[in-house]
Structures are given as structure tokens and as C-alpha cells.
Amino acid sequence: MDYLELSDRLKNYLLLIEKETGLPVKIFQSPDLGIKGARAAFNYHPDYTVVVLNTSEPRLSVDVERSVAHEATHGYILHKLGFCRAVFTEEATDDVKKKVNVLFSMVEDLTVNRIIPEHGFPPFGSEYLPMLKKEIEVASQGETQGEEFYSNFTSDMEFEDIIMVSRYILAWGFLKYYPLPSGIRSTLQKFLDAYSKAYPHHYPHARKVKEIIIKHNVFTAEGECWSMQEIIKLWGFEGVVKTVSTKDIKF
Ligand SMILES: [Zn+2]
């Protein structure tokens, strides 16, 4: 990592993750993470915690640091806490894998974004609220405009639906599970209200995911594993993916 000077805070946090998981953290750079607009990703590897950064766009160093802390924490909850990950059958296409991975991230992010503030990193980056305000504006114009906006990230309608649902769950999770200043809370609430009115073809999916998350304690490995099994079924992917824990978790 020559372009990125890690702060002592991040170095210490990554050392802690290495110690807790017993696995080295590796940071790679790539101009393409497979999802348009994605700035960072966690890649599962049995022997490492792999963080991949998209370095094609300039970002504030505080956001890059938060991204590294966020993605490495995905490794922590999988390797140390035994959260489930997706294991695919041979029939699973790259397309399905991409979709399922976004569904897993959506649920894991609730826990990840709760852990990183305990180590001095913000729950979301400086890019999040401006984007959310844009999304409120788009939703207020109706479903066609909304779908057109999210189609900038993919031309696949099912994937677009999954991305839209994950945007709802992220905002809803911040509002439900995190202590945030009232100005931010009201922006999050505005987005959820606009979304539920604007997207009759997507909100019912988001609502079902929300109900599954509320039913289980997704901040534990068991709760996350159960939730993921149910969420995978919502999209009909259960034939090509299994939810597997690195630990002997009963679920
Ligand atoms: Zn994440």
C-alpha cells in the first residue's frame, strides 16, 4: 500500500482484527469491483482478510480509512464471530453470486457499521448523506425516475431491485439501531417515507427483509445465518447457495 498512508488508529484496528482472527489483513487495489459505483469490497478467503479498494475515483482519506475498517470488519465477523457466508453450488452463475453477495452485505453491514464506531470510525462515510438526499429527490419524482436512477448501477432489473432494497435497509438500519443526531435522523426518515410511497414494486421486498431482520437478532451469528436463509428464499436463490459458518453455529 504505497498510495495510502494508514493512520495509527487504522493500523491498530487492523492489528486487532489480525490478532482476533489469526489471519493477516491484505489490502489490494482494483479499478473495477464488479459493481458500478462500488468503492471498496471484502473478498472471502479462508487464510486472509482481503480488502479491495477501488482507487479509480479520488476520495477523502478519512473515507478511505473508514472503508478499509468497514471491509476488514466483514472479515472479523465471518472469521471470528462465525457469521454465515454464501457457499455456491457449481450451477450458480457469476450473476447470481453477485446478487447473493449484495444480500449478505446488506445484512452484515448492520453489524459492521455498529462495530466500527467503537473503534473510532464513523458509521458511514462523508459520501452517504449527499447521496441519500439525491435519492430522496429521485424518489419524490416517482418509480419510473427512481428505477432510471438505480439503473445507472446495473442494467439487470433483478439486481436493480436488490440494490434498491439494500439502500432501504441501510437507511432503516441506521435509524433503528444507531444513535445519530436529530438532523440526520430526519433525513433518514424522509428517505424511508419517500421510498415507501414511490416504489410499489420494491418496497414490499424491503418490508419483508425488514421483518426477517427484526425477527432474528442479526447482530449474532445465529441470527444472521437464519436471516440469510430466509432472505435468499425471497429471491429464489436457495437451490444454488448455502449459508455456511466458519464456526459450529447452531441454526
Ligand atoms: Zn459492507
What's the 67 CA to ligand 1 centre distance in angstroms?
8
pLDDT digits (tens, 9 = 90+) for 126-185: 999 999 999 999 999 999 999 999 998 888 999 999 999 999 999 999 999 999 999 999
pLDDT classification of 251: cutoffs 50, 70, 90: confident
What's the 106 CA to ligand 1 centre distance in angstroms?
7
Note whether 244 and 189 are same-domain residues. Answer: yes
pLDDT digits (tens, 9 = 90+) for 67-94: 999 999 999 999 999 999 999 999 999 9
Note whether 59 and 119 are same-domain residues. Answer: no
pLDDT at 2 over 60: no
* Contacts (Cβ under 8 Å, ≥6 apart) of 116: 66, 69, 70, 73, 122, 123
What's the 240 CA to ligand 1 centre distance in angstroms?
22
What's the 17 CA to ligand 1 centre distance in angstroms?
16
Q: Which of 58, 80, 102 is the last residue of a domain?
A: 80
pLDDT average, residue stretch 55-65: 87
Pair 192, 139: CB distance under 8 Å: no
What's the 112 CA to ligand 1 centre distance in angstroms?
7
Note whether 47 and 3 are same-domain residues. Answer: yes
Per-residue confidence (pLDDT) for residue 134, from 0 to 100:
97
Per-residue confidence (pLDDT) for residue 246, from 0 to 100:
87
**Other Cβ atoms closer than 10 A to 100:** 23
User: Model-level pTM greater than 0.85?
Assistant: yes
Note whether 49 and 166 are same-domain residues. Answer: no
Please tell me the distance from the alpha carbon of residue 222 to that of residue 155, in angstroms, as a whole number.
Answer: 34
Record the cell numbers describing residue 86, joined without a space.
Answer: 454464501
pLDDT classification of 59: cutoffs 50, 70, 90: confident
Note whether 144 and 107 are same-domain residues. Answer: yes
What's the 113 CA to ligand 1 centre distance in angstroms?
8
Element (H, E) at 102: helix 94-115
Q: Which of 62, 80, 98 is the last residue of a domain?
A: 80
* DSSP-assigned letters across all residues of 116-132: GGGGT--SS-TTHHHHH
What's the 197 CA to ligand 1 centre distance in angstroms?
27
pLDDT higher for 32 or 126?
A: 126
- Write out the residue range of the structural domain in which residue 47 sits: 1-80
Record the cell numbers describing residue 122, joined without a space.
Answer: 464513523
Note whether 211 and 247 are same-domain residues. Answer: yes
Q: What is the CATH number of the domain that holds 59?
A: 3.30.2010
Please tell me the distance from the alpha carbon of residue 75 to that of residue 133, in angstroms, as a whole number.
Answer: 30
What's the 228 CA to ligand 1 centre distance in angstroms?
15
What's the 108 CA to ligand 1 centre distance in angstroms?
7
pLDDT classification of 36: cutoffs 50, 70, 90: confident
- Tally of domains within the chain: 2
Record the cell numbers describing residue 191, joined without a space.
Answer: 428517505
What's the 230 CA to ligand 1 centre distance in angstroms?
20
Backbone angles phi, psi at 217, to 5 degrees: -90, 95
Which residues make beta-bridge pairs with 27? Answer: 51
pLDDT digits (tens, 9 = 90+) for 110-119: 999 999 999 9
pLDDT at 1 over 60: no
* SS3 (DSSP) at 186: helix
Please tell me the distance from the alpha carbon of residue 193 to that of residue 18, in angstroms, as a whole number.
Answer: 41
What's the 111 CA to ligand 1 centre distance in angstroms?
9
Q: Could you tell me which of 163, 129, 125, 121 has the C-alpha nearest to residue 35?
A: 163
Per-residue confidence (pLDDT) for residue 3, from 0 to 100:
53
* DSSP-assigned letters across all residues of 203-219: HHHHHHHHHHHHHTTTT
Which residues make beta-bridge pairs with 245? Answer: 84
Note whether 135 and 230 are same-domain residues. Answer: yes
What's the 190 CA to ligand 1 centre distance in angstroms?
23
What's the 5 CA to ligand 1 centre distance in angstroms?
22
Helices 61-79, 94-115: inter-axial angle, 10-degree rounding: 100
Note whether 62 and 94 are same-domain residues. Answer: no
Q: Which of 80, 110, 142 is the last residue of a domain?
A: 80
Note whether 168 and 249 are same-domain residues. Answer: yes
